[in-house]
Structure 1
């Protein structure tokens, strides 16, 4: 994990990001949008069928499945591996929590080892039979950069592992949490039905109101002063994103969930007035897949609001007992 992008700094981080280029450029996002639209329709069909028999778990049927379907197709992964990769990702993130228990660390280490083996095997298969998938492309890029096959495999391995870990856990929560918040705030949901152009704004408000990651750690490279507090070189600073997003000095009425927030409470349909949030980080570590996460959440919400069905919460959501990574483990909905 120490060699994945979030834990690297310049010059290695700079070299890797430069070689990657714009991974999710406009043409890639356009192609993935078509994939997402097909996947969303299939998942919502299944959800609708289940709802006719009673309440159904939106997490299990939709939000857990969509991210791996998108990133899996992009990376060319076998669909029969999707469930395994979801489970391993859930287990792996324990080690990224603030105070993991010994048993959680052991679970995370075992999941990391299985993921490392999985992607090592994948790289060897792509070397033997390259395609037009990103893993094959990364192999070609780094082979051309230095010709060191062992170094190429190590770099590509860290990239592939990072892509899976970054794409699944946080995006699944974003999707489930957006629906939860809208069902809990019916006036906001009604507003979206009347003004679907606000759907991207609703996704941004979810990212602010209850971000998928609530804490980010940073290590000071030199002695500095932060917010009037001295921080020595090598000390760790914990950024509490959840608290920052509810700071009344930055967000007026921060505890209100308002899908019009980006528009400065102007009339809907007016120009967007972006209000920054930290859900995707900042600076050199700004999330590489931010556009993909937004695309998936927007595609899902757009398709859901176009359907004739109306949903309601049938119980309180259940949450994983975590500090850093937010995760709704179940969200039961029924027909309204």
Structure 2
């Protein structure tokens, strides 16, 4: 992977940069801070015993390589009982698809199946219907003045889509959505004690809910995804209790992945659409650019800015010595603005050739990528069809996160 070179700065010097990422200003616009990190090298020491990678080439290389692993259950156990990696929510997440390495990942991914064209087309009908209903509510509120897109659409469409697909009662959707917002803190870059406590509580409630769901579906097998996963796991795991536990972890993963990042994608896409009149006019005049607009949103400000991996063996990454089991935080939010990959990277340009890592890469490429794209494209087409133009009333407030972006509001009005 290269020859080791002396680091250009130490961990103490990187602490101030990271602390700025955790401020409201840094969370609203982290990209100047990313640029400072990139100026110190493609790979640089983090304030703790880990490293940051900021270049597109290095991030892409790590995601595609089998020499880099997920921080799985075994890795987390080695970090010690007093670390954030052994919080109850973190231990629970270590059993989900996103935290598995082969061969466990291979088996779970095969059991999960995929969103083939037929499935996407069926779900598309649900998305179209739900989008129409949500935009009706948005239009009604806009008639009285400004409206919060996040509350009325951005947070609503993903849970309506995945809730309907999984066959979850609509009355449960608001609570599941809130639990997801709280649970994601355990997946943050450096969660606080209070954030971990919120995540632990949310994870426990989600476990109770979905364990009961799997139990009910086993007693009443149908043609829904959960029932199909039960049948699939029964073929490979003779112990029904273990099979049901595997199904539970799969359902939990699907819900968490489908709600949080997709909601951020929808809201960020809409913010980029409404904050510049020329962008709205471009897509309204050329609806064929809808897919490209979505892809450029994923590059320009992805829902997830950090993906973490651990070294499977001692190595050198872009001149930096990294020992086995040491972690590298791939700052994909920075990699997407890498001038070595994209010309004028700070310019939002739907006409550029798509290239991003928003859905990760390699064997962990996002299972739900087709669904996220589907929701975003349908929503964008409906927005430009139904409204003459919307405008941004004020800049959104961002949730206190670094890895998982989340606008708490998006206040819009008719232009």
TM score, norm. by length of structure 1: 0.95
2:101 partner SS: coil
- How far did residue 185 of structure 1 move? 2.6
Q: Which residue of structure 2 lines up, in the alignment, with residue 272 of structure 1?
A: none
Distance in 2 (CA, whole Å) between partners of 1:114 and 1:308 is 39
Distance in 2 (CA, whole Å) between partners of 1:11 and 1:316 is 45
- How far did residue 186 of structure 1 move? 2.2
Q: Which residue of structure 1 lines up, in the alignment, with residue 321 of structure 2?
A: 230
Gaps of 5+ in 1: 263-274
Distance in 2 (CA, whole Å) between partners of 1:127 and 1:26 is 27
Question: 8 Å contact 1:188–1:259 — kept in the other structure?
Answer: no
Q: Which residue of structure 1 lines up, in the alignment, with residue 164 of structure 2?
A: 73
Question: 8 Å contact 1:188–1:258 — kept in the other structure?
Answer: no
Calculate the aligned-residue CA RMSD, in Å: 0.9
Distance in 1 (CA, whole Å) between partners of 2:155 and 2:148 is 10
Deviations 1:262-315 (A, max 9, x none): 2xxxxxxxxxxxx32110000011100001000000000001111143211111
Question: 8 Å contact 1:119–1:157 — kept in the other structure?
Answer: yes
Question: 8 Å contact 1:94–1:108 — kept in the other structure?
Answer: yes
Q: Which residue of structure 1 lines up, in the alignment, with residue 102 of structure 2?
A: 10
Q: Which residue of structure 1 lines up, in the alignment, with residue 188 of structure 2?
A: 97
1:155-170 equivalences in 2 (<5 Å): 155-170=246-261
Question: 8 Å contact 2:149–2:267 — kept in the other structure?
Answer: yes
Distance in 1 (CA, whole Å) between partners of 2:388 and 2:340 is 40
Note closer, same or farther for the CA distance 1:128–1:205 as it changes in structure 2 (3 Å cut): same
TM score, norm. by length of structure 2: 0.77
Q: Which residue of structure 2 lines up, in the alignment, with residue 36 of structure 1?
A: 127
2:307 partner SS: strand
- How far did residue 327 of structure 1 move? 0.2
1:40 partner SS: helix
Question: 8 Å contact 2:283–2:289 — kept in the other structure?
Answer: yes
1:191 partner SS: helix
**Length, aligned pairs only:** 323
Note closer, same or farther for the CA distance 1:308–1:57 as it changes in structure 2 (3 Å cut): closer
Gaps of 5+ in 2: 1-92
Match for 1:109 among 176, 184, 200?
200
Greater relative contact order (CA < 8 Å, ≥ 6 in sequence): 2
Distance in 2 (CA, whole Å) between partners of 1:261 and 1:43 is 31
